Amino acid sequence: MKKRLSISLLTLFLLFLTACGQGESQVEQEEPLISGNDTEDVTSEQSEVEGNENEVPAEESSEEELNTEGSAVEEPESQTIHLFFSDDQVMDMYFVERSVESDAEQPLQEALELWIAGPTEEGLVSLVPEDTTIQSVEIIDGTAHVSFSENILEAQVGSGTEEMLLQQVALIMEQFGYPKTQLLIDGEVRPQFFGHIDTSQPIVADSPDNYEKKE
């Protein structure tokens, strides 16, 4: 009887040891140091940190774009032109230099408007009434057609000064490649402007070399 009891106790003890060993093995398998999900989370956090380090702040990016755009903007090129005016004794004509934008839509009209504005150089005068306007400038068959408002007829000119005034217009057009200029009033040809010179035909520009520069 005692022998059977001893065998039973020994058997229970062995079963207990075996159960403990299996339990420890399962715990080790079920609790790894870093699970797969934890590894993915760590990798994701590292990627976010690296991504944040590589990102450029929005303000700095905007400033760089503005600097790039600013450096690409080019100032419009200007073209030097000559305007012709009489001296204050109305004895001779001189030319002065002005600048207009090369890509202006109407460089010829802009040049004539500068001429109507008058000279700034000492000793020169304008023969054109201040309220005169340039209505249009057109090129027809290689000839410049310049239309003035009727105010231009109020200019106080004689035969000599009339020729000066008409030549000033023709010389301005000549430097743009149009040696002949048809003068108009309100878009129409007039036989005469001031009663001395025929203006029914285009005015042929004199040679610009005949005139000196006024400083």
pLDDT one digit per residue (tens) for the chain, 215 residues: 545 555 555 665 566 555 555 555 444 454 444 445 555 554 555 555 455 555 545 555 555 554 555 555 566 688 899 999 999 999 999 999 999 886 656 899 999 999 999 999 999 999 999 999 999 999 999 999 999 999 999 998 888 899 999 999 999 999 999 999 999 999 999 999 988 899 999 999 999 999 999 98
Residue 135 CB neighbours (<10 A): 15
Q: How far apart are CA 122 and CA 15, in angstroms?
A: 125
Biggest distance spanned by C-alpha atoms of the chain: 161
Is residue 87 within 8 Å of 122, Cβ to Cβ? no
pTM of the model: 0.65
Distance (Å) of CA 89 to CA 82, 123, 203? 21, 9, 24
Q: Is the dihedral of CA 157, 161, 167, 168 positive or negative?
A: negative
Which two tokens mark 21? 């060993």
- Residue whose C-alpha is closest to residue 127's, from 85, 95, 160: 85
